[in-house]
Amino acid sequence: MSDQPVLDVRGLWKVFGPKPERAVGSTLSRQELKERTGCVAAVRDVSFTVRPGEVFVVMGLSGSGKSTLVRCLTRLIEPTAGEIVFDGADIRQADEKRLRELRRHRLAMVFQHFGLLPHRCVLDNVAFGLEIRGSARPERYKRAREVLELVGLTGFENSYPDQLSGGMQQRVGLARALAVDPDLLLFDEPFSALDPLIRREMQNEIIRLHHEVGKTMVFITHDLSEALKLGDRILIMRDGALVQMGTPDEVVGAPADDYVRDFVSDVPRSHVLTLRWIMREALPDEPLDGPELAPDLVIRDAVHTVLSADRPVRVVREGELLGVVTSAEILEMIAR
Ligand SMILES: Nc1ncnc2c1ncn2[C@@H]1O[C@H](COP(=O)(O)OP(=O)(O)OP(=O)(O)O)[C@@H](O)[C@H]1O
């Protein structure tokens, strides 16, 4: 994996209202700013990088600025200040031609409302992005069939969107985004309109597709369990600002403030935290020939090994002993 980020967002602001640029840099709360200037700071001074191949989740309650943020990335909404560096250049500086090129070839978006064309069949919906890009018909149908197979919709090529369930329509939306083979896939609450079972199925689908095609993804959600399930890293927003950014276990194990603590309070810690969080130094007289596990193993998946071992389990990374875990640490975690 290259270290060069796919996306590097620096000091991004989006202010709605009169003379929005005057609100940039303001330290007033969103409420105060609104009262004094009539402006809403939907996104305030947000910076983050997205690494190649990662699923980067942006999470926050309704109104925290997630949708505005993701729409700023492709300039569906014009940011008020900041930089969005993609492929070595600032998207904010891109002219119309370059922006069109980026949107058609490099970035693809999946929305909550699928945005399918009702009078076109599934195959033509999926091929649509390739069509506006100017691909010849045989080529775009070939590619559309490939991605339909990838999302499990082979056999539905000639159906129309209104003949499909919500979950299947979202698969079409996903296939359409994948068809153009983008460098970055952006998801804005894609599963919010789906019922819980279908939603879970689609989350698993994203995980599977991510393994198969390895795309870099930015995924917006208000649902913590979805964020923890999908995210390699999670950015948590409140009132337009970044509150915490970290891996799922960092967010659950070390919440940055009460807002995040509140969010994660119901999460079963042993399902998210890894051995790194409970390991301790070996005592001088402890035997060090027990089983070996990796520090990134989720505690839940280590329970059996640790509880059935008659000696401390060694936590080892690349041959280096980082610590040990015994039944005591496991039981304490579970009891909490
Ligand atoms: N066009 C607009 N004009 C004025 N204010 C806006 C506009 N769009 C969004 N806002 C405000 O910006 C803030 C952030 O909205 P945004 O939709 O980005 O939040 P969100 O986290 O995506 O919430 P939701 O999940 O409900 O869409 C909100 O206070 C919203 O009212």
Q: Rounded to whole angstroms, how far apart are CA atoms 126 and 172?
A: 7
Confidence (pLDDT) at 2 = 60
Cβ of 66 less than 6 Å from ligand 1 = yes
Confidence (pLDDT) at 231 = 95
Q: Rounded to whole angstroms, how far apart are CA atoms 132 and 315?
A: 53
Helix (H, G, I), strand (E, B) or coil at 317: strand
Cβ of 70 less than 6 Å from ligand 1 = no
Task: Give yes or no for residue 318 having a pLDDT over 70.
Answer: yes
Burial of 137 (0-12, 13-18, 19+ CB in 10 A): exposed
Cβ of 30 less than 6 Å from ligand 1 = no
Q: Rounded to whole angstroms, how far apart are CA atoms 106 and 98?
A: 11
Summarize the chain as % helix, strand, coil (round to 5).
Answer: 40, 25, 35
Domains along the chain?
50-80+89-267 (3.40.50.300), 271-335 (3.90.1280.20)
Task: Tell me how far the alpha carbon of residue 170 lies from the centroid of ligand 1, in angstroms.
Answer: 23
For 191-211, write each residue's pLDDT tens digit: 887 888 888 888 998 898 888
Cβ of 63 less than 6 Å from ligand 1 = yes
DSSP string, 204-256: HHHHHHHHHH--EEEEEES-HHHHHHH-SEEEEEETTEEEEEE-HHHHHHS-S
Residue 257: how many other CB atoms lie within 10 Å? 11
Confidence of residue 271 (pLDDT cuts 50, 70, 90): very high
For 69-126, write each residue's pLDDT tens digit: 999 999 999 999 999 999 889 999 999 999 998 988 899 988 877 678 999 999 999 9
Residue 330 and residue 278 in contact, taking contact as beta carbons nearer than 8 Å: yes
For 162-201, write each residue's pLDDT tens digit: 999 888 998 999 899 889 889 999 999 888 878 888 888 8
Classify 200 in phi/psi space as left (phi over 0), alpha (psi -120 to 50) or beta: alpha
For 105-121, write each residue's pLDDT tens digit: 899 988 877 678 999 99
Q: Parallel, antiparallel, or unpaired: how do β-strands 292-293 and 313-317 relate?
A: parallel
